């Protein structure tokens, strides 16, 4: 098996010497120097296709009654809630940081919820289409690409980092900054996610709340087209919608907790309040507790 032919959704471990360990390949770890991960923009243009406008409209404009109708779902893992961390900020706004690998099926599933949630606070442009690797678990899971996407919000600032394959080698579509690297190496660890540390996707909401790994089983999206998933988001009774939107409610609550509970009609909505109360996501860290995730879905290990 060639390097990076398969993503096992645990592709990064940043050691103290700033080296990166990719997931198991042919039964052994492949170690590459940090410098070997050239930004894709400097290595060549990444081909991409724009997401259909109807799909983007559906995923970015989920009706309020669907969020409230879905609320919290027991099959969806809540995020980790932190206390005492220095806030992550991008410029003058709270920072929202999404890091994943383009071929990872767990990441493919999480992007649906991430777009659903963040669209309540701002607007996406130039979303692309993508799918998870064909030779991994839950192959060809339909999703989106952030390679050319931009996001604008009056409440938060966004950064997305995606690892991909380019000309047969690993490439990062946007280079990690020092605060982003620190967030990943400090938070996505056994202290907070003992069952599955160092996993993708990693979603950080201003160092107050974070998600490591998939919030729900990506197998639910198997065999569904992008258009089918998007159309289903108007139906709060759909199992797929329950998973995507319940995850989105947790993400919404996380953003509300760091942006001053704005906009109030979103942050005060029933589905968000229910999710925030269950996961103990508050606008203050004075509760003094850290919620620890004890179980996470994980991808199958690479074949020997």
- Whether the model clears a pTM of 0.85, i.e. scores above it, the answer is no
Instruction: Write out 149-215 in H/E/C secondary structure.
Output: CEEECCCCEEEEEEEEEECCEEEECCCCCHHHHHHHHHHCCCCCCCCCCCCCCEEEECCCEEEECCC
Lowest-pLDDT range, 8-12, 80-84, 278-282? 8-12
Task: Please confirm whether the linkage preceding 263 is cis (ω < 30° from 0).
Answer: yes
H-run or E-run covering 246: helix 239-258
Mean pLDDT (the chain, rounded): 81
pLDDT of residue 208: 97
pLDDT band at 165 (very low <50, low <70, confident <90, very high): low
More confident residue, 83 or 168: 83
- What are the tens digits of pLDDT across the range 53-105? 999 999 999 999 999 999 999 999 999 999 989 999 999 999 999 999 888 99
3-state class (DSSP) for residue 96: strand
State how far the Cα of 240 lies from the Cα of 126, in Å rounded to an integer: 25
pLDDT of residue 13: 40
Token digits of residue 153? 């919000």
What proportion of the chain, given as a percentage, has pLDDT over 90?
A: 66
pLDDT band at 219 (very low <50, low <70, confident <90, very high): very high
pLDDT of residue 234: 97
C-alpha 58: how far from chain center: 19
Q: What value does the mean pLDDT take over residues 159-179?
A: 78
pLDDT of residue 76: 98
pLDDT of residue 195: 86
State how far the Cα of 55 lies from the Cα of 144, in Å rounded to an integer: 10
Is residue 228's pLDDT more than 90?
Answer: yes
């Amino acid at each position: 098996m060639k390097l990076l032919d398969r993503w096992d959704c645990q592709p990064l471990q940043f050691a103290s010497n700033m080296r990166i360990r990719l997931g198991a390949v042919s039964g052994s770890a492949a170690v590459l120097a940090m410098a070997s991960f050239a930004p894709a923009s400097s290595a060549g243009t990444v081909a991409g296709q724009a997401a259909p406008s109807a799909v983007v409209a559906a995923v970015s404009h989920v009706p309020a009654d669907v969020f409230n109708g879905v609320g919290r779902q027991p099959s969806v893992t809540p995020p980790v809630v932190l206390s005492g961390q220095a806030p992550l900020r991008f410029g003058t706004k709270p920072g929202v940081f999404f890091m994943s690998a383009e071929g990872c099926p767990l990441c493919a599933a999480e992007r649906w919820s991430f777009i659903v949630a963040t669209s309540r606070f701002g607007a996406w442009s130039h979303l692309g289409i993508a799918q998870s690797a064909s030779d991994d678990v839950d192959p060809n899971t339909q999703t989106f690409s952030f390679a050319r996407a931009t996001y604008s919000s009056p409440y938060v600032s966004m950064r997305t980092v995606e690892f991909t394959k380019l000309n047969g080698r690993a490439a990062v579509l946007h280079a990690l900054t020092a605060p982003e690297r620190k967030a990943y190496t400090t938070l996505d660890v056994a202290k907070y996610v003992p069952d599955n540390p160092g996993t993708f996707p990693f979603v950080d909401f201003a160092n107050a709340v974070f998600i490591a790994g998939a919030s729900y089983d990506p197998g639910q999206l198997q065999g569904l087209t992008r258009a089918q998933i998007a159309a289903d988001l108007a139906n709060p009774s759909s199992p797929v919608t329950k998973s995507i939107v319940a995850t989105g409610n947790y993400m919404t609550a996380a953003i509300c907790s760091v942006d001053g509970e704005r906009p109030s009609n979103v942050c005060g909505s029933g589905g968000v309040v229910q999710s925030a109360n269950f996961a103990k996501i508050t606008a203050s860290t004075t509760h003094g507790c850290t919620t620890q995730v004890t179980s996470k879905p994980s991808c199958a290990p690479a074949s020997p």
